[in-house]
Amino acid sequence: MRLTFLFISFLSLMTVSVWAYNVNYKARSVIKSVKTLSSEIQNKEARIKLLKAEWTYLNRPERLNRLVTVHFPELRLLALSYENYLLFEDILLAGKKGTDNSTFEPASNKQDKLLNEMVEP
């Protein structure tokens, strides 16, 4: 009886120590990978932050204004004006009832006309 008890105690001690050893090493490796990951996260976050700052810098209003001027011949971008607001009824849609499509003028033509007026005088 006593012998059995001793044997079982010894066996459980061994099992528990093996388990504790494993857990210990697993925890250590997890800590190690956490360190690697947080370092990676830190680097990525710093990179994102830098890229965001750069993106904002490239999109600053002063530069966009300059680009609009430089690329005016191709892009023909104009500042937003009250004329950009229209009622839905005023938009000539192809195939819409009661609209005469022969007088339909694409918006781009209108813009070109406006530009010619601006450039000529």
Give me the residues that bind other proteins (CB under 8 A), please.
31, 34-35, 38-39, 41-42, 45-46, 49-50, 52-53, 56-57, 60-62, 65, 79-87, 90
47/71 with CB nearer other proteins: 47
Distance (Å, whole) CA 99 – CA 90? 10
Helices (H), the chain: 2-58, 61-70, 72-75, 107-119
28/76 with CB nearer other proteins: 28
63/76 with CB nearer other proteins: 63
Tokens representing residue 15 in the block: 């099992």
